[in-house]
Structures are given as structure tokens and as C-alpha cells.
A and B are shown apart, each in its own frame.
Chain A
Amino acid sequence: MKNRLKVLRAERDWSQADLAERLEVSRQTINALETGKYDPSLPLAFRIARLFGQPIEAIFDDGEA
């Protein structure tokens, strides 16, 4: 699934490791999310959305809208 994680992260000048630490996941997890190869569970998607202060659908795009 496409997402804006990389852009949102860059806007805040965070490294993958910074974002990983804030979400309490590994850096590999951030990488897999950013490349769209791994779709997060709903709970993780909510945590990401809260961290960036945006609704889930503003971050993730399932291509259906």
C-alpha cells in the first residue's frame, strides 16, 4: 500500500531510526513500511497517525478512493 511516511518523516527531519524509536519498532520495520512492502496492522497505523497528527487515510492510500 502506498503511503506518505517517508515525506512526513523528512518534513520532521527524522531518520528511519528516529521514527523507529518513536514508534517502538525496529528500523527494518520502518523501511518495510516506507517501501510499501509491509502494511501495518490497524493498531500500528493508528499509532503512526497519532504521531504525525493526521488521519490514517491522509497517510495511507489503498488506491480505492
Chain B
Amino acid sequence: MNRHSPAGRRYLKRFIPAMVAYLVLIFGASFAFRDPGLSGPLAWAIAVAPALPIVAVIAIMGLYIKEETDEFQRRILIESMLWGFGVTLTVTTVSGFLEMYVHTPGLQSFWAFPIFCLAMGVSQLFVRRRYR
């Protein structure tokens, strides 16, 4: 992410509140589900709540790509995202087959996004280095 461009600054202005909302909702949901009696539509709503800021962050990333006018910065981010997609699909596919055939505990699917972000972040360092 290019923090100095107007698009980069807008990205941060959107991303930070979304992550704050995520932290609040994930702690809230964990707290709420300590109550074993929680069920029905309320349980569904609370369970889905922490996913919403993540969906927002995905949209915020898309907006950044749309708004960034520096084509080289856009290129770096897109290349890093492709690495992120590749790693995420590889990890989830391998884990899925392991789960199916040898009954490993399996990877809960909410990990897909953190894996994507981690892979994207790490690959961005290498992608940037290649253009230096």
C-alpha cells in the first residue's frame, strides 16, 4: 500500500475503523458465546457479525485498486494479491484433502482471510525488492 498517495490515505481511513470494528465484534462474539444458551437467530447474527468488517476490508482493498492512480503501486499490490490468492488456495486445498482422506482436524475456513493477508504482506516485500 502506498501511504503517501491520496488513495492510500483513503484506504487507511477506511481500513483502520474496519479493523477496530472487527476487534470489537470478535471479542464481543467470543464473550457472547460463553453463554451456552445462546441460540436461534440471535446466535446466527452474533456469529456472522465479525465477518462483516472482513467483507468490508475486502471491498476496501478493491476500492484502493480502483482509486490508486499510481499504476506501478497498483501493479505491486495486484501482484502481491495474486501471491496471496495462490497461497490461500494451496493451503486450503491441501488441508481440505487431508481432512477428507486422513481426517486431520482441518482448517476452519475463517482462516482463509488471515492466510491471504499474511501471504500478501510477505510477498509484497519480495515483489517490491524485485523492482528495486
A residues near B (Cβ < 8 Å) are 24-26, 28-29, 31-33, 35, 37-38, 40-41, 44
Contacts and interface: CB of A to CB of B under 8 A. Distances in A.
B132 A29 contact: no
Contacts of A31: 131-132
B131 A37 contact: yes
Interface residues of B, number: 13
Given A28-B131, A31-B132, A32-B131, A41 B71 contact: yes
Interface of B: 2, 4-5, 69-73, 75, 128, 130-132
B87 to A, nearest CB: 24
A41 B2 CA distance: 19
